[in-house]
Structure formats: structure tokens, C-alpha cells
């Protein structure tokens, strides 16, 4: 009598694909947050393909083993979208404005006195805050793009149009 052959083990690529599909089902409203969390935990700890398949028995496509529909715009090369959309002139202008507004405001307040114009200090604070928020978002966007590019290259898919 022969023993049943155990299912082959899966790797990070299969677990990543399953979590990507679970996120899609959450976005489509097929899963609530609690069920998504449970299935995500199970997907990340799965060791064999049947462990993954069990998570999708009651869900429609996409499922592991099926291609996730990717919009054509998402298949564009990552380098083409290297930063958040903002014109270079506006980026330079915001950088200069942020660098100049602090000394100008402080000189103005010292020249005219803090008296009734103390609130002017909030102008450079607001400008600096907005610029810092933009820079942070831009950095996060670039990091995400680099991560996606690295994953794509690790999977051996260096042709962005291949699918």
C-alpha cells in the first residue's frame, strides 16, 4: 500500500499572490475586515497550495492560479512614473518659497513688531507643513515604485508588457 504524496510546498511568491487576491476581494466588498484579516493571516502562514486554495473556495475569480486583471496603465514601465505628478517648475518654486518664507516672516515681524501681527508666524508654518507633507508622500511613492520594480525583477518578469 502506497502512502499519499504530500502536496508540494509553496514559497513567498505564491503567498504574495494570494494576499494580493485577498486585497482585491476586500476592495470589491466580498470580504469584511475581520474575515480579510483571518484569511490574510492564514495565507501568510500557508505551506502548501491546498492551504491557499482553501481560502478561496467561496470566492469568485481572481483566485490563485488565475491571472489578476491588471489595467493597461498599470503595466507601464515603473520608471515612467518616478514621482507624484507635479511640474518641475512648481517643485522648484515651492522649495524656494519654503526656504525664503521663514526669514522674511521673522524679519517682517521684528521690523513691525509682534503686537497685532503675531499670527503671521502661522503662514510659514502652514507652507512648510504642506511642503513637508508633499515630500513625504513623494518619498513613499518612490519607495513603493522601487519595491514593485524589485519584486517584478525578482519574479523574472523584466518585460512590463508580458503577462
Rounded to whole angstroms, the Cα distance separating 8 from 2 reads: 17
Q: Report long-range pairs for 31-37 (Cβ below 8 Å, ≥24 apart).
A: 31/59
Angle at which helix 12-27 crosses helix 33-45, to 10 degrees, equals 170
pLDDT at 128: 83
Q: Write down the pTM of the prediction.
A: 0.41
Sequence ranges of the domains in the chain = 12-69, 82-154
Condensed to tens digits (0 to 9), the pLDDT of residues 151-161 reads 888 876 555 55
pLDDT at 163: 46
Indicate the DSSP class of residue 150: H
Cα dihedral 121→122→127→130 (10° resolution): 150
Comparing CA positions, the residue from 139, 144, 128, 19 lying closest to residue 74 is 144
List, for the chain, all residue ranges whose pLDDT scores fall below the cut of 70.
Answer: 1-2, 65-88, 156-163
pLDDT at 83: 46
Contact predicate 18/25, CB 8 Å: no
Comparing CA positions, the residue from 67, 20, 14, 69 lying closest to residue 40 is 20
Contact predicate 134/115, CB 8 Å: no
pLDDT at 47: 92
Element (H, E) at 103: helix 88-112
pLDDT at 84: 52
Amino acid at each position: 500500500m502506497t502512502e499519499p504524496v504530500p502536496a508540494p510546498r509553496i514559497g513567498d511568491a505564491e503567498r504574495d499572490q494570494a494576499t494580493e487576491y485577498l486585497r482585491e476581494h476586500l476592495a470589491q466588498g466580498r470580504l469584511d475586515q475581520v474575515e480579510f484579516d483571518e484569511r490574510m493571516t492564514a495565507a501568510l502562514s500557508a505551506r502548501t497550495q491546498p492551504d491557499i486554495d482553501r481560502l478561496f473556495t467561496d470566492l469568485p475569480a481572481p483566485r490563485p492560479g488565475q491571472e489578476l486583471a491588471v489595467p493597461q496603465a498599470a503595466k507601464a514601465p515603473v520608471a515612467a512614473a518616478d514621482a507624484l505628478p507635479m511640474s518641475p517648475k512648481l517643485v522648484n518654486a515651492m522649495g524656494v518659497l519654503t526656504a525664503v518664507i521663514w526669514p522674511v516672516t521673522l524679519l517682517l515681524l521684528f521690523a513691525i513688531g509682534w503686537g497685532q501681527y503675531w499670527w503671521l508666524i502661522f503662514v510659514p508654518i502652514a507652507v512648510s507643513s504642506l511642503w513637508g507633507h508633499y515630500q513625504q508622500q513623494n518619498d513613499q511613492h518612490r519607495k513603493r515604485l522601487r519595491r514593485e520594480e524589485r519584486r517584478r525583477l525578482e519574479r523574472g518578469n523584466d518585460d512590463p508588457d508580458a503577462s
